[in-house]
Amino acid sequence: MFHYKNMDPLAREKRDLDKKIINAALSEMEAGKVSEEELSNLAGFVIDYLHPAKNQIEIGNLLTRATSKWPFLEGIILAEQSELKNAVEDEVFDGVLTLAKHGKVEEAIKLAKSATSK
């Protein structure tokens, strides 16, 4: 049996987003703000575009696109963008450590400064 905790991090993130998006849409539908057709369109968007996304940057771009069609997703998008920023910073600092480990200290310092100046 496949367990959710055994999923790779990107697949787990997409699954979490699926839940957040559909729950938000269902809440909007129950409040009379989203039609069944719009819910169907959103589910299609998630399956057709979010599921095949290959990285967090693609996910962020797709969520931004989704917000233009479904403004009620804005809160989810803002949270995801914050997580994306943190993930990018983590990758940069992994690069800093790798450069420093291989004796490329000047390059590591430049990379660290570029990441923290933004």
Interval 18-31 mean pLDDT: 93
Answer whether residue 70 shows pLDDT above 90: yes
| pLDDT value of position 6 | 66
Q: Which of the listed ranges 8-17, 39-48, 75-84, 92-101 does the model predict with the highest average pLDDT? A: 39-48
Pick 55 or 4 by higher pLDDT: 55
Report how far apart, in Å, the C-alpha atoms of 17 and of each of 80, 81, 83, 113 are: 9, 12, 12, 32
Answer whether residue 2 shows pLDDT above 60: no
CA proximity to 24, closest of 72, 64, 66: 72
Domain boundaries in the chain? Answer: 7-116
| pLDDT value of position 4 | 52
Interval 14-23 mean pLDDT: 90
Answer whether residue 1 shows pLDDT above 50: no
3-state secondary structure the chain: CCCHHHCCHHHHHHHHHHHHHHHHHHHHHHCCCCCHHHHHHHHHHHHHHHCCCCCHHHHHHHHHHHHHHCHHHHHHHHHHHHHHHHHHHHHHHHHHHHHHHCCCHHHHHHHHHHHHCC
Tokens 């992994």 -> residue: 94
- Chain centroid to Cα 102, Å, comes to 31
| pLDDT value of position 109 | 87
CA proximity to 67, closest of 58, 59, 76, 54: 76
Interval 54-62 mean pLDDT: 84
